[in-house]
Structure 1
Amino acid sequence: METKMIWANLVSHDLQRTIKFYTDLGFKQNGKETEELVSFVFGESNFVINFFVPVRLEYALRGKLLKTAGENEIIFSLSAKTREEVDLWHEKVKAIGGTIFAEPENFEAGYTFGFTDPDGHKFNFLYWPGM
């Protein structure tokens, strides 16, 4: 058996704020938002992240959500083409009010920084030679 596709489902406590944040970063919506979710595509492969209102995501999980302010389970890595592009993303995230949790730094052969979206979901932009 083979899976056709993979995507992620995260919580949004304010869909309009989520839309503004990811649109301001330059990502495209994947279809039209509803009262329960908004969806964005990331990268050349159009990886989809759906952002659901809490009650809808808890129903799908059949459980409670983590408190992203103090608990973490995942970090999404977004690749950059150059070190300079990582710095440009860093400035853009700061300009739109994103929270930087790790300033730009060399990491092994690469270069990275980390940020959280308005709901506390963690991302990092990473330049890695050859990737």
Structure 2
Amino acid sequence: MKTRLIWGNLVSNDLEKTAKFYTDLGFILNGESEEMTSFKFGQNGFIINFFTKQRLEKAVNGNLTDAKNQNEIIFSLSAESKQNVDEWVEKVKLAGGTIFAEPQNYEQGYTFGFSDPDGHKFNILYWPGM
């Protein structure tokens, strides 16, 4: 069997705060309702939906990870250059994100890590040729 699309579903403890954070970072709003806000990421438009805790717990039929205290996943976003990585650092700080890994060289690349207001983790990575 083939799948047509893939997207991510994460919890948001404050939809307004989540929407503002990702809007401030320049991501494209994909949709919103009383129970969710959704954004497109990257050139391919990968969608991440952020649901209220109650709605997502109902969908998974169980409890959710507290991303501020536990790790669940890390999304990687590619950058165009080392300078672009450093620009992202400042943008994330201004938007209210938390830097959990300062900018650093990694093999032939350059990266840093941040978390959003709910603790969901991302890294911005410049990798030559990617």
TM-score, length-normalised on structure 2? Answer: 0.98
Aligned ranges 1:38-53 → 2 under 5 Å: 38-53=37-52
Deviations 1:74-130 (Å, cap 9, x if unpaired)?
000000011110000001101122100000000111100000000000001000111
Aligned to 1:7: 7
Structure 1 distance, partners of 2:126, 2:41, is: 16
Structure 2 distance, partners of 1:49, 1:60, is: 15
- Unpaired segments of 5 or more residues in structure 1? none
Aligned ranges 1:1-131 → 2 under 5 Å: 1-31=1-31, 33-131=32-130
How many residue pairs end up in the alignment? Answer: 130
Report the Cα offset of residue 69 of structure 1: 1.6
SS in 1 for 2:23: helix
Deviations 1:24-50 (Å, cap 9, x if unpaired)?
00001003x100000000000000000
Structure 1 distance, partners of 2:121, 2:114, is: 6
CA RMSD of aligned residues (A): 0.7
- Unpaired segments of 5 or more residues in structure 2? none
Report the Cα offset of residue 67 of structure 1: 1.4
Displaced runs of 4+ in structure 1, greater than 6 A?
none
